[in-house]
Amino acid sequence: MSQQWAGELFTRIAVPRLPGSPALPAVEEAIAERLRAFGYGVRRDEFRASPRRLSAATVAGAGLGWVTLIIVPLLLLPVPGWPVTLIGVGALGLVAVLAVGIAEGRLPVSSLEVPTANLRATRGEPALWLVAHVDSKAQGLSLLARAIAAVSAGAGVLGLLSLLVARLVTPLPWWAVVPVAAVALIGGAAFSRGTPRNDSPGAVDNATGVIAVLVAAERLRERTDVGVLLTGAEEFAMEGARAWVQAGPASGLFINFDGVDSRGRYRVVPHPPRREGSGAALSADLSGVLATVLSERGHPVKEGRLPFGVYVDGAVLAGAGMPGVTLCRGDWRTLRVVHTSQDTVGRVDVQAAVEAGEATAAAVRRLLG
């Protein structure tokens, strides 16, 4: 039965739906209708979202590129080392301050804010939340390219700082400077292409995650200790999850779904909360139970971290003290299409999301009784 409605709803919601776009409210209502049909009470928690953190990344990338172009000639010129180091470290520090200021809203480079909402569905007092984000986006880089850019930018910054320190005591040959500069320029140029666009249907990211949540919610509809949280503006650097935890005390376990492709293996990512307590053990227990259930059902599964540079709502929820996991599925080909216009319904079988939801429901029963 789930297979029929899941396929129909998947096609209906996998349309470009950037936060603030005209299509998003209809997608949210279609999801809310399904939850009401399962017997959940649905609440819409409205907030305003800004892509300022994406703008901060763009500024940081462009700044790194320009600073690199300034530093390289200075590193190679026959001049005293201390002014070169002072200029280089100061310029990199200024870029960092600008980026942080923009990300925190202290330096508004844009007044853009869009109305959006989190959807919350409950039948009682949840001890566990099923989580997925509803929105989608496209950028100048796929998620794979952006992860590579994050590594390149980080390595470039560390390399430049090392060269600036070394320049204090010795002249530097061109063959030591140019490779580091190239890495920094590539990473910076890539990061500068972070402006979001509304041309990705977001089939894998994250219509599949929404379907997995709904299937699990249907299977667990008799329980009053399981709730559903469908976040908005995740593609604006987890703005919906941030708004939810800021609105009140965040409590309970969570299972976050973010990208369930029909290729590759399932990955269960534990999110132990940052504050001390029993949360780390709860997160590990949840991860172990979910991985075991998936394995028992014949699915290849791995427990571990997300690729460097990939961030999800689970990190925000764990930062607020909630133990939980993120469940995803895919391979490098998945990362190549996420955040692009190629993330379409035609390249993914929704059955993988249905199976993820069914396995999750079984794991929840095993964990909570």
User: Mind listing the pLDDT tens digit for each residue in 268-287?
Assistant: 999 998 765 667 889 999 99
Three-state DSSP state, 229: strand
Q: Which residues pair with 228 in a beta bridge?
A: 121, 130
Taking residues 32-53, report their average pLDDT.
96
Q: Is the pLDDT of residue 157 over 60?
A: yes
pLDDT at 336: 95
* 87: amino acid identity, one letter: I
Query: Minimal CA–CA distance to 135: which of 218, 237, 57?
Result: 237
**Confidence at 2, pLDDT banded by 50, 70, 90:** low
- In the block, which residue shows the tokens 């999801």? 31
Structure tokens at 231: 């976040």
**Taking the complete model, does pTM exceed 0.85, yes or no?**
yes
Domains annotated on the chain, with CATH:
2-49+114-139+197-368 (3.40.630.10), 55-110+142-191 (no CATH)
pLDDT in tens, 317-342: 999 999 999 999 999 999 999 999 99
Cα–Cα–Cα angle for 47, 323, 32, rounded to 5 degrees: 40
* Per-residue confidence (pLDDT) for residue 191, from 0 to 100: 87
Res 109 pLDDT > 80: no
Residues 127, 368: contact at Cβ < 8 Å?
A: yes
Q: What is the mean pLDDT of the chain?
A: 94
Between these two residues, 67 and 276, which has the higher pLDDT value? 67
For 330: left if phi > 0, alpha if psi spans -120 to 50, otherwise beta; the answer is left
**CA 255 to CA 267: how far, in whole Å?**
12
